[in-house]
């Protein structure tokens, strides 16, 4: 299938929700940090399959083997039954974070579950008045209704109002605004430790510290959305570990399944006990196939030292990008942690840079027309990082003179 055929089939049979952002290629296969299209062209993947999902790269042998074995053994039973992969995955996440887990199918569902848990905790401790949730402007938490309401970007709200009430938004990293917003009516503060979709902006230690203090003072749950930042992406298993804070709840997804859809809400006491039987559920959540894939993904992350690799190769990329910045005025800022890097541009040419990188075999992401976002897989080698930097240096250097 070529790109023209793919477009025709999309126009005929799919809701065209992705047309403006689809790249002009049809991806056929992947291995590690590389992808190939149906024309046989090879690409170096600096987006982890798109939006940081394939943190282990494509078709990681451990994950693929676990999927094959589980598919031959048991594909699905509902949560009316126990299955060992789900229980072992809960045990594994508890060892990494503490607390107990609820499994779902995506990051938006994980955030929805965390919101419901926080609301129920507020209700049980103080009654229905304790239902307000404080989030950040420029945040992104998902596209289902409560997650959309939590997202502090009005452009995503347009056309879908009325959204669920009870959400307020503060400027990211504004400590005084946060302290003023959290009251006795607040059941949760929900934050990304690093803003992802709006351009890789890390939280300051003061901001997350103030959030923890405000939650403690007002009996609210401190919830971190680690859907994009979790599981090694930033050079720590979880991004909050860069800070001197401990959240009550985290939302996970994206890299958790090694490419297979799965999400999780992981909650510590006393917040975890707010949920009672029947309060929440998911037909497919934590099914044996995605749970087995997630266990294999966690094995690979730990056994292959991929968190440490993300820190090391991420620093290599950041240094290389700053070297490019010194050579061209087009790059105005480089920021991020580990393999989660944002590059600000002085002129609105991000789309053209993305296209020219793809033509040279490098896939990157953009945020608007003035920002590049790099989210390579945790398995990225130093040699692949240098190759990517070479392409970026050529393209940015050329764009600077246009």
Say which residue the tokens 């039954």 belong to: 81
Say which residue the tokens 């919830």 belong to: 223
Q: Is residue 37 among the annotated active site residues?
A: no
138 DSSP assignment: T
Please tell me which residue in 97, 140, 207, 275 is annotated as part of the active site.
140
Closest CA to 202 of 56, 318, 364: 318
**Distance of alpha carbon 112 from alpha carbon 15, whole angstroms:** 24
Backbone angles phi, psi at 4, to 5 degrees: -60, -40
**Distance of alpha carbon 271 from alpha carbon 248, whole angstroms:** 7
Please tell me which residue in 207, 254, 275, 354 is annotated as part of the active site.
254
- Contact by Cβ (8 Å): 371, 306: no
| Structure tokens given for 291 | 């749970």
Exposed, middle or buried, 157 (CB in 10 Å: 0-12/13-18/19+)? middle
Closest CA to 152 of 221, 253, 252, 225: 225
Q: Is residue 116 among the annotated active site residues?
A: no
Q: Is residue 120 among the annotated active site residues?
A: no
E strands along 90-160, which residues?
100-104, 132-136
| Structure tokens given for 173 | 């990293």
- Contact by Cβ (8 Å): 227, 253: yes
Please tell me which residue in 37, 45, 225, 344 is annotated as part of the active site.
225
Closest CA to 182 of 145, 156, 143, 219: 219
**Distance of alpha carbon 68 from alpha carbon 74, whole angstroms:** 10
Catalogue the active-site residues: 140, 225, 254
């Amino acid at each position: 299938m070529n790109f023209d055929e793919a477009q025709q089939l999309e126009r005929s049979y799919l809701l065209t929700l992705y047309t403006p952002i689809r790249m002009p290629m049809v991806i056929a296969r992947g291995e590690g940090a590389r992808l190939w299209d149906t024309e046989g062209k090879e690409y170096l993947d600096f987006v982890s399959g798109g939006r940081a999902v394939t943190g282990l790269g494509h078709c990681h042998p451990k994950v693929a083997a676990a999927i094959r074995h589980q598919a031959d053994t048991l594909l699905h039973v509902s949560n009316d039954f126990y299955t060992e992969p789900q229980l072992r995955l809960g045990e594994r996440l508890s060892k990494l974070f503490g607390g107990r887990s609820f499994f779902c199918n995506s990051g938006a569902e994980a955030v929805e579950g965390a919101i419901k848990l926080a609301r129920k905790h507020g209700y049980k401790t103080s009654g229905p008045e304790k239902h307000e949730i404080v989030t950040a402007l420029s945040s992104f938490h998902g596209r289902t209704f409560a997650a959309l309401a939590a997202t502090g970007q009005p452009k995503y709200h347009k056309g879908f109002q009325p959204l669920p009430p009870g959400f307020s938004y503060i400027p990211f990293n504004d400590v005084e605004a946060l302290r003023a917003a959290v009251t006795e009516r607040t059941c949760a503060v929900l934050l990304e430790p690093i803003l992802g979709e709006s351009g890789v902006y890390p939280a300051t230690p003061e901001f997350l510290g103030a959030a923890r203090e405000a939650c403690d003072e007002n009996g609210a749950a401190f919830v971190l959305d680690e859907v994009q930042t979790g599981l090694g992406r930033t050079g720590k298993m979880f991004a909050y570990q860069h800070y001197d804070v401990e959240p009550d709840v985290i939302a996970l997804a994206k890299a958790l399944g090694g490419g297979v859809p799965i999400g999780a809400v992981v909650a510590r006491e006393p917040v975890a006990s707010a949920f009672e039987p029947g309060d929440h559920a998911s037909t497919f959540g934590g099914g044996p196939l995605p749970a087995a894939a997630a266990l294999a993904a966690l094995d690979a992350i730990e056994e292959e030292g991929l968190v440490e690799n993300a820190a090391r190769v991420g620093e290599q990329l950041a240094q290389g990008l700053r070297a490019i910045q010194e050579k061209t005025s087009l790059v105005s800022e480089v920021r991020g942690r580990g393999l989660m890097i944002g590059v600000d541009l002085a002129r609105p040419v991000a789309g053209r840079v993305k296209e020219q990188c793809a033509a040279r075999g490098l896939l990157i992401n953009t945020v608007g027309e003035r920002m590049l976002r790099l989210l390579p897989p945790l398995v990225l080698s130093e040699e692949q990082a240098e190759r990517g930097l070479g392409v970026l240096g050529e393209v940015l250097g050329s764009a600077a003179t246009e």
